[in-house]
Amino acid sequence: MPIFHISHFLNLNFKIKMGISNKVYGVVMMIVYCGLFVVSYSLFETGETRLTLDYYAKTCPNVLQIVRKEMECAVLSEPRNAALVVRLHFHDCFVQGCDGSVLLDDTITLQGEKKASNNIHSLKGFRIIDRIKNSIESECPGIVSCADILTIAARDAVILVGGPYWDVPLGRKDSTSASYELANTNLPSANEGLLSIISKFLYQGLSVTDMVALSGAHTIGMARCENFRQRIYGDFDATSDPNNPISRSYIEKLRSICPLVGKTGENNITAMDNMTPELFDSSYFQMLMRGEGVLNSDQELYSSLLGIETKALVKKYAADPIAFFQQFSDSMVKLGNITNSDSFVNGEVRKNCRFINT
Ligand code: HEM
Ligand SMILES: *[C@@H]1O[C@H](CO)[C@@H](O)[C@H](O)[C@H]1NC(C)=O
Ligand SMILES: *[C@@H]1O[C@H](CO)[C@@H](O)[C@H](O)[C@H]1NC(C)=O
């Protein structure tokens, strides 16, 4: 973008040149050029982004409708697709910023993020993004980045399962690289301690409040046995009510899905919100208050001795769905605002979300 501005101003200079001497022209040229250099330099330094709501208003006015229509089909045919897309967006943004890096396939020259520990056998939904991208390319070729498509799709996914609406700032560029290493280090995992997870959010510029609200995304979607085995054979009995028959039958069900011995059923799945697994609501937080969170990382928000602040937030969102929706919307905009200055300056609009342009 700064490059575009420089050439724009150079053209302006040629017009100025016609009326003034070469020497004056040279000075004006220096000021304009160097002034712009400073601007683009500070843009690079602070990673400041220029996301705007009307980014595609002129270049692809129907982009929002196209994404919505495709997401409607996807979620109608399979509600879990909403969860897949929301998680994809999260895993994109925590690695190099929201730049579509998570969408890149492994090639001979590029190691993607799909095989990183928290993604492998787990991250799905790539074909949904491919389908949306195809529709958009046929209407406005080369205009809308995959990173923006994923951000809009995640917003629509949330609405389509009953969650809140928010306006989506746009103008991200797609990366020409991915980072397997950062995908391994930046993404939180199910058996990681609360403080470690909090620090990963703080590192991305997200607060404890953002972390708790965004964890509310687990009100939809599924987890695999290998991610909840430690929890259901660990402190589940201690956090939940042993005298409650509903709670007893729930833990028995989880243990039958995910046996302790034999390492079988690794990919058996269960909903993280067993009350309303296909609905975006506050029941995830209510589960945590009953001590029935499926992942260790979920239950720690409420039960960890180190989680005084997180516990208060869980209680608040359990009791007040509107407060949860409001905070979730704000936090999703912040999540989507994590951008990487390199992609911003050197990024592109990929033709195919899985491969960088040649
Ligand atoms: C706070 C730290 C977080 C941890 C430790 C965590 C961990 C996990 C794990 C282990 C799974 C199950 C994956 C599998 O078994 O294959 C999962 C699923 C999911 N996560 Fe998170 N997550 C976190 C935050 C988030 C955030 C911030 C979002 C989005 C805003 C999110 C959205 C989802 C969704 C929608 C699913 C279900 C995906 C599906 O159905 O396949 N998670 N998460
Ligand atoms: C988005 O990020 C930029 C800096 O990168 C910041 O100036 C702006 O306030 C952020 N916007 C939101 C809504 O967080
Ligand atoms: C997967 O879960 C089902 C119950 O939903 C259970 O019958 C089956 O034994 C599990 N698979 C394995 C390999 O344990």
Alpha carbons within 13 angstroms on the beta-carbon side of residue 44 total 13
* Spans of all domains in the chain: 2-46, 63-187, 194-333
Q: How many angstroms does the Cα of residue 220 sit away from the middle of ligand 2?
A: 28
Q: How many angstroms does the Cα of residue 340 sit away from the middle of ligand 2?
A: 12
Q: How many angstroms does the Cα of residue 228 sit away from the middle of ligand 3?
A: 14
pLDDT of the residue at 261: 82
Q: Quick: pLDDT tens for 201-231.
A: 999 999 999 999 999 999 999 999 999 999 9
Q: Is the CB of 49 under 6 A from ligand 2?
A: yes
Q: What is the DSSP letter of 155?
A: H
Contacts of 44 (CB under 8 A, 6+ apart): 341, 345
Give me the mean pLDDT over the 245-262 stretch.
94
Q: Quick: pLDDT tens for 176-207.
A: 999 999 999 999 999 999 999 999 999 999 99
pLDDT for 12 beyond 70: no
pLDDT for 116 beyond 90: yes
Residue 23, Cβ neighbours under 10 Å: how many?
8
pLDDT of the residue at 343: 87
Q: Ligand 2, residues 49, 166, 330: which to mutate, most atoms within 8 A of Cβ?
A: 49
DSSP lists the bridge partners of residue 223 as 270
pLDDT of the residue at 120: 98
Handedness of CA 118, 178, 156, 323 (dihedral sign): positive
Taking alpha carbons only, the member of 42, 47, 6 closest to residue 344 is: 47
pLDDT of the residue at 297: 98
Q: What is the DSSP string of 49-91?
A: ---BTTTTTTT-TTHHHHHHHHHHHHHHH-THHHHHHHHHHHH
pLDDT of the residue at 48: 54
Is 105 labelled a binding residue?
no
pLDDT for 112 beyond 50: yes
Q: Is the CB of 191 under 6 A from ligand 3?
A: no
Ligand nearest, relative to CA of residue 46 = 2
pLDDT of the residue at 35: 39
Give me the mean pLDDT over the 128-154 stretch.
98
Q: How many angstroms does the Cα of residue 218 sit away from the middle of ligand 1?
A: 6
pLDDT for 282 beyond 60: yes
pLDDT of the residue at 49: 56
The residue whose CA is least distant from atom 8 of ligand 3 is 257
243 band by pLDDT with thresholds 50, 70 and 90: very high
The residue whose CA is least distant from atom 11 of ligand 3 is 265
Task: Tell me the CA distances in angstroms from 101 to 58, 149, 153, 332, 350, one per residue in order.
Answer: 26, 13, 16, 18, 11
Task: Return the SS3 of 296.
Answer: helix
Q: How many angstroms does the Cα of residue 225 sit away from the middle of ligand 3?
A: 10
Query: Measured from the CA of 268, which atom of ligand 3 is nearest?
Result: 1
Contact 322, 328 (CB under 8 A): no
Q: How many angstroms does the Cα of residue 221 sit away from the middle of ligand 2?
A: 29
Q: Which residue has better confidence, 42 or 248?
A: 248
The percentage of the chain sitting over the pLDDT mark of 70, rounded to a whole number, equals 86
Give me the mean pLDDT over the 76-95 stretch.
98
Q: Please tell me the pTM assigned to this model.
A: 0.88
Ligand nearest, relative to CA of residue 53 = 2
pLDDT of the residue at 40: 41
13 band by pLDDT with thresholds 50, 70 and 90: very low
Q: Which residue has better confidence, 15 or 27?
A: 27
Tokens encoding 111: 């190691």
pLDDT for 3 beyond 70: no
DSSP lists the bridge partners of residue 174 as 348
pLDDT for 4 beyond 90: no
Is 235 labelled a binding residue?
no
Query: Measured from the CA of 47, which atom of ligand 2 is nearest?
Result: 5
Q: Is 89 a catalytic residue?
A: no
Q: Ligand 3, residues 224, 233, 256: which to mutate, most atoms within 8 A of Cβ?
A: 256
Give me the mean pLDDT over the 284-289 stretch.
98
pLDDT of the residue at 264: 81
Q: Is the CB of 73 under 6 A from ligand 2?
A: no
Is 2 labelled a binding residue?
no
> Topology of 63-187 in CATH?
Peroxidase; domain 1 (1.10.520)
CATH 1.10.420.10 fits 194-333, yes or no: yes
What is the C-alpha to C-alpha distance for residues 130 and 149, in angstroms, rounded to an integer?
A: 10
Q: Which of 31-35, 80-84, 155-159, 315-319 has the lowest mean pLDDT?
A: 31-35
Contact 231, 293 (CB under 8 A): yes
What is the C-alpha to C-alpha distance for residues 129 and 150, in angstroms, rounded to an integer?
A: 7
What is the C-alpha to C-alpha distance for residues 154 and 7, in angstroms, rounded to an integer?
A: 35
What is the C-alpha to C-alpha distance for residues 80 and 220, in angstroms, rounded to an integer?
A: 7
pLDDT of the residue at 344: 85
Alpha helices by DSSP H, listed for the chain, are: 2-17, 22-46, 63-77, 80-93, 126-139, 146-160, 180-186, 194-203, 208-215, 225-232, 236-239, 245-257, 283-289, 296-303, 308-319, 321-336, 341-346
DSSP lists the bridge partners of residue 224 as 269
Give me the mean pLDDT over the 92-105 stretch.
98
Q: Is the CB of 257 under 6 A from ligand 3?
A: yes
The residue whose CA is least distant from atom 14 of ligand 2 is 334
Q: Is the CB of 48 under 6 A from ligand 2?
A: yes
